[in-house]
Chain A
Amino acid sequence: MICPDAPVLLEIRDLQAAVDDQPILKGVNLTIRAGEIHAVMGRNGSGKSTLSKVLAGHPAYTVTGGSVHYRGNDLLDLAPEQRARIGLFLGFQYPVEIPGVSNLEFLRVATNARRSEGGLEELDTFAFEDLVRERLEVVKMDPAFLERSVNEGFSGGEKKRNEILQMALLEPLVAILDETDSGLDIDALRIVAGGVNQLASPENATLLITHYQRLLDLITPDYVHVMAAGRILRSGGRELALELERTGYDWVDQELERFAAEGQQTGRAPLEVG
């Protein structure tokens, strides 16, 4: 839902980041307002997943330039847990298995961390069980998964459902879903996409990171951005995703070459193909 007057939730300006001294993000600009659904597409290695990890505060990535503001406040200053508590959520491409930590306990501790930040009362075991059973409906998940260790032995589809269940419990204002569609069969994809659609509201925003159009058939984005070589190369409406589906990413290479040539003429640093 595009609403130009809605408050800005996330403002990314010239964001640059590196991992092991290797620059990956080379100046990302993106503004996300409440109510909007954005999709970032691009080839492997274009920097999509790095963008999501940097926003969530992964310690392996170093921000080397630029800024990110979340509801007007500097996001990059905050520890990962603090970012989550104030309403930023990262749905992992590969959710981590944690043997021995009960999924139910994990969900309860996470939910209460978010609630207490928002000034809400923490939920005891019983109240939380009521809540979690209600939210299980969002992703049609079997309650038996609550009794198991976090993601341990879950199939790919079950892990992604568990991610959306966490999103349903944490009620983030900005949800970044990193390749939530990868490894899902069509039924699981429908359930996961249905969950995301149910949770979208005029107050929150979603950033989908994906390779494929197929997720965007089920979740309609307001904006589509194409990333290459650590920058957003082009932005548009959902028609851009359809165009990509039709033409592939070859034009991206041509555009990068054109940028490189322009860079040489103007003396600006050329874009590198990552």
Chain B
Amino acid sequence: MVAVVPATPYAGAAGGASASATAAWLASLAGAPLPNRRQEDWRFTDPAALTGIDPQLIGLADPLAAQALPDGLECLSPAAASPWLGQALAATTSLKHWPVLLNAGASAGAAAAQPTSLLALRVSGAAGRLQLPLDAGDQPGLARFRLLLVVEAGAQLELLLQPSSGGVNAISLVSEVILEPGAELTLGSLAIGAAGSCLLQHTAVVQAPGSRFEHVTVSAGWALARQEPRILQRQGGACTRLRALQVCCDRQLADTHSWVCFDGPDGELDQLHKAVADDQGRSVFNGAVRVPRAAQGTRAAQLSRSLLLSDRARIDTKPELEIVADDVKCAHGATVSRLQAEELFYLQSRGIAADQAAQLLQRAFCAEVLRDLPAGAAALRPLHRLLGEG
């Protein structure tokens, strides 16, 4: 069974601050009020869990300080990074997204609290692998991370981000990725939260022709997890592979709003989004794919597969394909199902108990995405953590 994390009431923050005070603080940071359901992008997603945190910024150590960077990776100073900053966000029309506004607004305070609030890396050559733990621990408040990755022509990197929380807090993570021609990046994110914790993860990617971007996101355990991967193939001709798994149980809410745009011909997209919803969990997926006239020869496939494990869980899944070019192959599909009764009976008829059979089937459902995480993730035993197997 999916791990059941006790519910934390959203009203009233852990430290005693009222929900309205936190909402006002967050709105002042972002320069815009909290999103609400009248906004199309937040129609199914209530951000109320955010108001459960304390209205303060968390100071964290530099995640890069603890490790030696592999050859081919270079830390950019804020001055060196500044020409790149904002490029991918602007190109993917992300600047007005509330999670991006919040992250930007929190930067001034975070810079004071955190010696390096910006993680900026340039990748050249075959840089190998890197893991970045982004752990808010049990500190109350809002932790803010900003990541910039510039992957030079022909360079390669496999990066695993590990946002995690062990308390009532929120992580705001905005990543910008620039992939030059022929660059290859596998960006994994294994995000495990705790009761009352929130994750707002926005990833803006600009791909040059011939580049390859593989994005594997796994999230579980957050009261609210919102993923916003936004990818622009600036001149088409690039390869984008998206794999996502979100698990929500108890009263958790997991939301992915993805957006992929082809601004040139012959681009490729292969997207698989999976969700497991149990108890009163709620899963939202909105997959936008834009294929304008300039994007002839695009091949795009999007599949959303959801597993509904309880009568009170809810899944909203919506493909949103906008295709203007006429010489393209674009496929999409969405399934929502329960565990298959025939599969369960087959396993039971071989002596496997009903609950163990259900767990085997859930593991199989999740494994399809988990196996694509960067190699370093295996040591973190993601299946065990996702399914609450201790």
How far is the CB of A231 from the nearest CB of chain B, in Å? Answer: 25
**Contact between A58 and B345 (Cβ–Cβ < 8 Å)?**
yes
Complex: A98 Cα to B349 Cα, angstroms: 14
Kindly report which residue of chain B lies nearest to residue A101, judged by CB atoms: B364
Segment from A26-34, A79-87, A218-226, A264-272 that makes contact with B: A79-87
Within 8 Å CB of A56, what residues of B?
349
**Contact between B361 and A59 (Cβ–Cβ < 8 Å)?**
no
Kindly report which residue of chain B lies nearest to residue A110, judged by CB atoms: B350
Given A59-B345, A95-B346, does the pair A106, B351 have CB atoms closer than 8 Å? no
B354 close to A (CB within 8 Å):
yes
**Contact between B342 and A113 (Cβ–Cβ < 8 Å)?**
no
Kindly report which residue of chain A lies nearest to residue B364, judged by CB atoms: A100
Within 8 Å CB of A84, what residues of B?
348-351
**Contact between B361 and A98 (Cβ–Cβ < 8 Å)?**
yes
A92 close to B (CB within 8 Å):
yes
How far is the CB of A117 from the nearest CB of chain B, in Å? Answer: 7
A166 close to B (CB within 8 Å):
yes
Q: Give the size of the chain A interface in residues (CB under 8 angstroms).
A: 29
Within 8 Å CB of B347, what residues of A?
98, 106, 110
**Contact between A57 and B349 (Cβ–Cβ < 8 Å)?**
yes
Within 8 Å CB of B357, what residues of A?
81
Of residues 160 through 196 on chain A, the ones whose CB sits less than 8 Å from some CB of chain B are 166, 170
Given A109-B352, A166-B350, does the pair A80, B345 have CB atoms closer than 8 Å? yes
Of residues 317 through 356 on chain B, the ones whose CB sits less than 8 Å from some CB of chain A are 340-343, 345-354, 356
**Contact between B346 and A98 (Cβ–Cβ < 8 Å)?**
yes
Within 8 Å CB of A236, what residues of B?
none
Within 8 Å CB of B365, what residues of A?
100
Q: Please, could you name 13 A-B residue pairs with CB atoms under 8 Å apart, sorted by A?
A: A79-B348, A80-B349, A81-B353, A81-B354, A84-B351, A90-B349, A92-B349, A96-B342, A101-B361, A110-B351, A113-B353, A149-B364, A170-B350
Nearest first, the 7 A-B pairs at minimum CB distance are A100-B364, A113-B351, A110-B350, A84-B351, A96-B346, A80-B348, A85-B351
Residues of B at under 8 Å CB distance from A? Answer: 340-343, 345-354, 356-357, 360-361, 363-365, 367-368
15 additional A-B pairs beyond A84-B348, A96-B346, A113-B352, beta carbons within 8 Å, are A59-B341, A80-B348, A80-B349, A81-B348, A81-B350, A81-B352, A84-B349, A84-B351, A85-B351, A96-B345, A98-B343, A98-B346, A101-B364, A109-B356, A170-B351
